[in-house]
Amino acid sequence: MSEYMGQENPLLIIISGPSGVGKDAVIDELKQRKIPFHFVVTATTRSKRPDEVHGKDYWFYTPEEFYQLLKSGELLENAVVYNNSYGVPKHDVRDSLNRGEDTILRIDVQGAAHIKREVPNALFIFLAPPTFEALINRLGNRNTETPESLNRRLNTYQVEMKAIPTFDYVVINYESRLAETVDKIIAIITAEKLRTHPRRVKL
Ligand code: 5GP
């Protein structure tokens, strides 16, 4: 058998991009299609939105609880995004990779840059809106933002788009074409599993 066959390294897949671009929708669709992967639920101090579930969308913690996690060195990455703290539980990522499962992380662009320094062999996918206006529409429709926080999110957008060249792939999430976006992400994952030199991730 060729030495190139049978190499099954779990991938650490970072799905990033501007806030409101549709990262959660993409991940939900991957789950719907029963694509096998482990989704890392990140921790946050942000308050829960009505449709969110503790332990599924986020671990919702008080600032004190979050600080305890941070102090114990248990966060692979943490950041303040729009005045709330977010962090990636390290043990969850490590355990999942040790089980041999492809592992998906949904984080903002500054978080992705941090992970890139820590784990350069992860697979970095940037999800982009087709236009600035499309992102404004999506954020506006979400009805959960104050005009002030909307403004802040939009200012960050331009800085975040400049980070695209540091990613491995960029996928545009066109309005009402989620299936196509997810098809492209699955194609990327499929191709990555056929590499002659697989990404080996160490935590
Ligand atoms: P939201 O509060 O709207 O759910 O998320 C705000 C932003 O924080 C999104 O871009 C989301 O992807 C990002 N985010 C979620 N979890 C983490 C994390 O653990 N670290 C970082 N850096 N960003 C995160």
pTM, two decimal places: 0.90
For residue 76 the two structure tokens come to 């692979």
* 106 CA to centre of ligand 1 in angstroms: 7
Q: Decide: 18 and 156 in contact? Cβ < 8 Å.
A: yes
Q: What is the pLDDT of residues 61-120, one digit of tens each?
A: 999 999 999 999 999 999 998 799 999 999 999 999 999 999 999 999 999 999 999 999
111 lines ligand 1 (CB under 6 A): yes
Placement of tokens 């600032």 in the chain: 63
Domains recognised in the chain with CATH numbers: 2-40+100-193 (3.40.50.300)
pLDDT at 6 over 60: no
Atom of ligand 1 nearest to the CA of 43: 19
Task: Tally the residues of the chain.
Answer: 203
**Sign of the dihedral through C-alpha 116, 119, 124, 127:** negative
Q: Which CA distances in Å does 48 have to 11, 15, 60?
A: 29, 21, 7
Residue range 142-180, pLDDT digits in tens:
666 778 877 877 788 889 999 999 999 999 999 999 999
Atom of ligand 1 nearest to the CA of 114: 22
Residue 172, token pair as written in the block:
């545009």
Indicate which residue's Cα is closest to atom 1 of ligand 1.
19
Q: Which atom of ligand 1 lies nearest, measured to the CA of 82?
A: 6
CA of 176 to the centre of ligand 1 (A): 23
Structure tokens at 167: 């990613």
- Is 160 touching ligand 1 by the criterion CB < 6 Å? no
